[in-house]
Structure 1
């Protein structure tokens, strides 16, 4: 699309818009950068708050992991102290009492037991209700025989039915031979409940999970895991390993709680520009309505009244109109007064001009009548018809001019009569010719067939003169002696505004009259040239003759 077409499109678009809509669009466009900046700030804040929240989630799981590790370390220290007791190492009857006393200070430990190298329980803090031989248990095979602390599980304690994690300290003699283990089971449910009670936010959820599950979970490597619960709520969780390959701790919180402040900040960053837009739009609408639209409507109504010549009596502006529009209002009132004075002066001049034009037309009509009277008087003084014929032809031509002048005078507004009905003109012209040749009309019939068409007065004269000259030539030359016939005058207009004017007769034709045309032929050619056309001569109905001209109304 070219530049002029684009500019034309936008010009039409602007012209079809109201002042209020254009100003609101301008205000909205001016606030677009504010919206973009606010949206950018909102998303930047969202990313920053997400990092802060995720960091706090990781910090919380680290705190809980330290608390749980403290429990494990406390148990490990107890095992180290018990390993130095001879009764515990040898599994004597006093071993059970020693283990029971040690168990009192460890609320998260479900049981303490001394196990020999073959997997037989020598003694325990609580009685073993199932079996004293654990050599076939899976968790026993997971324990290390060295002096370091090892773990097994999590598993379901058969005595309590609760999930437990077995921690064991390997015993060796002075030669480094294994002497079994001192083991205790950590009650994971109780530990989990205690960790949940220590959390500051009660809407969070802390769970102890099997570390083996993390190895099969593809999300385990993500610092923050995201999932949905059965109710469709989204949770974010951070996980940290507590006992490698055995136990991990997971801290989770609903996103609606975790990101509540973030959502509030983002909503505020987006809502504030929208609220600003609403207030700006309302202020713009109020300002345009009371300071521009209504004053302009008032001025337009006043201009309409002024244009119709009705000056309102109340010229006081609205209380909300600004100073510039009030001044414009006053200028319009002053302009209306000047226009009214000028109109009265022009009306007076127009009336004087109309009277002068009417007087001029009447004088011209009277002068033409004087000329006709002189020609008639001169013709009556001549004795023979051959002597009177030239004067009669001149009289017919002047009669045509008088007819045009009469139609102008009879117009409703002669001062502005710029057109004449050609149908009425030619009909009256044919009637005038009939009256001019009463003897010939007894054997010659004149017909007039014309379309109604308004033509300019400067065209009426050559058309009238052409028709008069053609009719006169036909009456005088086309019907010699006592010959009878018809003369047909026609004027037609087609869709392209081409006017075809013809005068045809059923007389002797051009072969008998060409030598007699003379001055008439020259006049017909001259009148055709005035109409912007060449004279055409053609036969009519096999024996008569036609003379015609064709011209375009738009080309004149």
Structure 2
């Protein structure tokens, strides 16, 4: 628990390194750590961007290479199927030159049957007239007229060997493709056509031998996108049915099977018959390493930035901030006046901070020497000022003694009373300078002490029984330049209120306070003033010198005199003080 408290205290102290008015960040970038982070980020951003761009280019290049490989594989796999179509066309080309077939004589069926048996993928070979009526066939069909069939209409309009879409044979009940070769007379007129049934399952098996369905899906499709042959018919229809495959000849496509596996496929047109071949392979297998490389290209810059930020953060703490914090502690010790402190840990700091630490240490030594000289000079000047106050006090006491000596020869009456008042005023100045001489703080005087000295002096100088009570706060102080006019003003007010012609005892109370920057002195007398504090009285003059006013109010229990003037601390300027 103790170790935890030490760590928490260190964290709080570290967090307040910029908490002062001078060190508090003024904006987001007003920090060594943040500026370093910004500079390093700007420096490594081109490298990180280059790595990411390289990953994007690699992905694009790999996609193009994969498409090229798939297309080549598809064309190679479809080559055997194209060979089948070429073989079927060659068979028909050979048969059209046979006279017994061309003339549909008695040997036509035998010739067609022999050709049909010799071709492994053939299901039937037939000869049709120009009107679409069967003239000769290797197998006996159920329907002798095909003029209404779509594949026949296409062959009539074609000039070369054509292939139909995949259909069910009415004879064998197997899926077949019908290859048709149109026949023309010597004059160039359409004279019928030879057709051959190509076994669709045989084509599918041929593609399966070229590529296993688990390795990939390859399909042969016509221009409309209808499947002609495939090594995985169900999956092929799932992927390619309803797609415009002609739009994928220049880039890879993607499709998902029933299990949710994503496949990438490429499409390439074949040279003849308007056919297209499409090949698909699982995307994970094609781009496994490419995805890893691209991820590394993107993740590596991010990791590099994160490690850089962490390194800067820790390095700033260990190399910069901890020494700033240490020097802040050192300067705080020097600020408390402990100039003899030596920063013993600075030898572990980097050279720049060692130079700064030595400079701070030299500055502290210089401040220590100058502080010593200033203290000596201040002590000397304070001694001189105290000596001046002592001599002034002695001189004023000599004057008071002379006034007492010469005043004793003055007859009793008004002149004698004025002579005594003069002696009291001079004695007041002597008392003030004695207080200055005895004061421990040379720039301030305690108001309670000053008023009590005035009370003792005035009680002894009065011609009657006068009691002066001081109730001012003991902690109340005023600058020394306020003491003389304040003491003389109090002397004038008390001598005015304590009438010499009265015989009953008098009681006066002095109370002082500072309210809202104004010093208020209240004198309460047991006797009314009867307007004796006129505007021409000396009390008003001394109050004006202090920048204040004097107000007296007579009540049932006596007079209340209120003196108010602006207060200030020692060394400050008075707001309305008169000169």
- What's the TM-score, normalizing by structure 1? 0.76
- How far apart are the structure 2 equivalents of 1:9 and 1:100? 105
Distance 1:13 1:485, change over 3 A: same
Distance apart, 1:167 and its partner CA: 0.9
Kept in 2: contact 1:188–1:208 (CA 8 A): no
Q: What is the match of residue 4 of structure 1?
A: none
Q: Does 1:501 align with 2:554?
A: no
Q: What is the match of residue 144 of structure 1?
A: 155
Q: What is the match of residue 439 of structure 1?
A: 464
Kept in 1: contact 2:168–2:176 (CA 8 A): yes
Q: What is the match of residue 3 of structure 1?
A: none
Q: What is the match of residue 341 of structure 2?
A: 311
For residue 27 of structure 1, the aligned residue among 36, 40, 43 is 40
Question: Secondary structure at 1:420's aligned position in 2?
Answer: strand
Distance 1:59 1:530, change over 3 A: farther
Distance 1:110 1:170, change over 3 A: same
Q: What is the match of residue 5 of structure 1?
A: none
Distance apart, 1:437 and its partner CA: 1.8
For residue 489 of structure 2, the aligned residue among 462, 466, 480 is 466
Question: Secondary structure at 2:125's aligned position in 1?
Answer: strand
Question: Secondary structure at 2:547's aligned position in 1?
Answer: coil
Distance 1:314 1:446, change over 3 A: closer
Q: What is the match of residue 96 of structure 2?
A: 83
Distance 1:63 1:524, change over 3 A: same
Q: What is the match of residue 390 of structure 1?
A: 418
**What CA deviation, in whole Å up to 9, does each residue of 1:462-499 have, x standing for no partner?**
1121111111111137xx4446765454444333x123
Distance 1:349 1:271, change over 3 A: same
Q: What is the match of residue 542 of structure 2?
A: 527
Distance apart, 1:551 and its partner CA: 2.4
Kept in 2: contact 1:154–1:164 (CA 8 A): yes
- What's the TM-score, normalizing by structure 2? 0.73
Distance 1:487 1:285, change over 3 A: closer
- How far apart are the structure 2 equivalents of 1:341 and 1:231? 89
Question: Secondary structure at 1:392's aligned position in 2?
Answer: helix
Distance 1:440 1:298, change over 3 A: closer
Q: How does 1:92-107 map to 2 (within 5 A)?
A: 92=106, 95-96=109-110, 99-101=113-115, 104=118, 106-107=119-120
Q: What is the match of residue 168 of structure 2?
A: 156
Q: Does 1:551 align with 2:565?
A: yes
Which of the two has greater helix per residue? 1
Number of residues of Structure 1 aligned to a counterpart in Structure 2: 526
Aligned alpha-carbon RMSD (Å): 4.5
Kept in 2: contact 1:487–1:506 (CA 8 A): yes
- How far apart are the structure 1 equivalents of 2:100 and 2:360? 120
- How far apart are the structure 2 equivalents of 1:280 and 1:72? 64
**What CA deviation, in whole Å up to 9, does each residue of 1:252-272 have, x standing for no partner?**
344444555654554344344
Distance apart, 1:246 and its partner CA: 8.5
- How far apart are the structure 2 equivalents of 1:95 and 1:65? 32
Question: Secondary structure at 2:265's aligned position in 1?
Answer: strand
- How far apart are the structure 2 equivalents of 1:368 and 1:80? 153
Q: Does 1:541 align with 2:566?
A: no
**What CA deviation, in whole Å up to 9, does each residue of 1:99-156 have, x standing for no partner?**
445654x55x2413224446558443xx66x847575985665563477423333113
Distance 1:492 1:140, change over 3 A: closer
Distance apart, 1:527 and its partner CA: 0.8
- How far apart are the structure 1 equivalents of 2:24 and 2:326? 28
For residue 112 of structure 1, the aligned residue among 117, 120, 124 is 124
Q: What is the match of residue 422 of structure 1?
A: 447
Kept in 1: contact 2:78–2:207 (CA 8 A): no
- How far apart are the structure 1 equivalents of 2:202 and 2:333? 94
- How far apart are the structure 2 equivalents of 1:457 and 1:203? 106
Distance 1:544 1:346, change over 3 A: closer
For residue 257 of structure 2, the aligned residue among 229, 235, 247 is 229
- How far apart are the structure 2 equivalents of 1:440 and 1:48? 118
Distance apart, 1:40 and its partner CA: 4.9
Question: Secondary structure at 1:540's aligned position in 2?
Answer: strand
Question: Secondary structure at 1:113's aligned position in 2?
Answer: strand
Q: What is the match of residue 476 of structure 2?
A: 453
Q: What is the match of residue 168 of structure 1?
A: 180
Distance 1:476 1:160, change over 3 A: farther
Unaligned runs of 5+ in 1: 1-7
Which has the larger displacement, 454-463 or 52-61? 52-61
- How far apart are the structure 2 equivalents of 1:85 and 1:37? 70
Distance 1:210 1:175, change over 3 A: closer
Distance 1:245 1:398, change over 3 A: farther
Distance 1:306 1:423, change over 3 A: closer
